[in-house]
Amino acid sequence: MNQLDERTLFGFIAYILQKLEDIKSYYGYIVVQKIVYLLQEAYQVKLPYNFYFYHFGPYDEVLDTNLLIMKNYGLIEIGIDPKGMGYDIKVKDTAKEYISSAIAFISENKEKVEYILNNFGSYEPKLLELAATIHFVFKNNKSNYKDSELRKVVIEKVQNLKPKFSKTETEKEYDHLVKINLLK
């Protein structure tokens, strides 16, 4: 079992959020959920979450609760985004102390964070949702199908779960994830 203490966990999440702020002018829950999902599931960062499939792809309620508690602790602010459609999460200065406490864990995983943010940080939430969904479906099916069948099966299942994405869009993102070695 993962035994990451609360201070290290919150410090690490605050660090990711700070890095996201360098890339995006604003972001909300969906972006945080998907980035943390990819870090944990595709890059094996040892975080305590159990992601399942929800409306916008892989999701863990505990991560949302963690964000609310980080808000209670005064580490982040959660406002409404400028378009008024979603949320706008901002790290506060008070998070510095937590980030310092998590420095060993951050150093251990720094390259993985950079890799994920370099590849997905600039993604719009919708594309991030597609990438994380493809990974989620791949991971849950890889042991049940032959390698030669897997691409077709995953694309079909993603289409059932997310009919808003066209087959071409899904195939393109699937191939991108293969290219950057995320589907293994």
Partner 1 sequence: MNNYFDKYHIFRDPIHGYIKVYDKERDIINTPTFQRLRRIKQLGPTNLIYHGADHTRFAHSLGVMELASRVYNILIAKDKEDKLLNWNNEEIERNEILLRLVALLHDVGHPPLSHVGENELFPEKAEKKEKNLTHKDFSKKIILEDKTIKDIIEELKGEYDIDAEKIGKFITKEEPDPILQPIIDGPLDVDRMDYLWRDSYYTGVHYGRFDLDRLINTLVMVYDKVRESPTLGIEQGGVYTAEALILARYYMFLQVYFHEVRRAYDLHFTKFIKNTLLKDNNGKYPIEIDKYLAYDDISVFSKIKEEISNNGESKELAKILMFRQHHECIWQTKDYTSSKDKEVFEKNVEEIKKKFGENFLTDNAQDAPNKFKKERFYVKSRAPKSNDIKDNYIEIERKSNIIKSLDEGINKNRLYAPKNDKLEEIKKCVAEMDWES
In the complex, which residues of this chain contact partner 1 (CB under 8 A)?
Answer: 1-2, 6, 29, 46, 50, 52-56, 59, 61, 64-69, 71-75, 78, 85-87, 137, 140, 143, 157, 160-164
* Distance in Å, CB of 118 to partner 1, minimum: 25
* Closer by beta carbon to partner 1, 56 or else 145: 56
* Closer by beta carbon to partner 1, 61 or else 111: 61
- Does residue 98 contact residue 14 with C-beta atoms inside 8 Å? yes
Burial class (CB in 10 A: 0-12, 13-18, 19+), 111: exposed
Question: Which residues are within 8 A (CB) of 133 and not within 5 positions of it... i.e. 6 or more apart?
Answer: 53, 57, 58, 158, 161, 162
* Closer by beta carbon to partner 1, 68 or else 118: 68
* Distance in Å, CB of 2 to partner 1, minimum: 5
Give the dihedral sign, CA 138/66/54/82.
negative
CA distance 153 to 149: 6
* Distance in Å, CB of 72 to partner 1, minimum: 5
* Closer by beta carbon to partner 1, 4 or else 103: 4
* Distance in Å, CB of 83 to partner 1, minimum: 11
Helix, strand or coil, per DSSP, at residue 57: strand
